[in-house]
Amino acid sequence: MKVFTKKDIDRISKVLETEPKYKGNNYRFVLKNKETHQHISFEIYPDIPIGNQNGSLISVYAPCTHLQLQFCTGYVVSEMLGEVTFIGECGGKISGLIIEKGAGCSLYANVDKEILSGDFTTLGPEVMLSGVALSLAEEILPENKK
């Protein structure tokens, strides 16, 4: 499980171009898109009790949505895309919560890890999107770390 450090928070802040506010047990980020007038906020709880164990929690708040990724196991930043992908892994499946600096957010849940390194062209378009979107995270999965 990932425990977020101040260095992680600074790295995420830089890519999303927003400063978080420390709220005691979490860091709160607010993202606004001036062109589309969209806005979202999200919080990173670095290490809190979840059930009978501790873990990190990512919560996203949008005007009509609340998303949570519990037991976040890692994250990948993409400066080129201006986004951060938070990953949760359990039993051969991964879930990814992607937050964009333009106040966008996507969630892909229970995706088979094998899709990430497979041939995307053999997948239907409705499944292909999750594989492409989460393929950046393949480098942080435990069996791929060096």
**For residue 84, which of 27, 145, 36 has the smallest C-alpha distance?**
27
Which is more confident, 58 or 113? 58
- Chain CA centroid to CA 5, Å: 16
Average pLDDT, the chain: 88
Per-residue pLDDT at 126: 74
**Per-residue pLDDT for 115 more than 80?**
no
Q: Is 51 within 8 Å of 65 (Cβ atoms)?
A: no
Residue type, 50: I
Question: For residue range 15-47, what is the model confidence (pLDDT) as tens digits?
Answer: 999 999 999 999 999 999 999 999 999 999 999
Instruction: Write down the domain spans for the chain.
Output: 6-144
Per-residue pLDDT at 28: 98
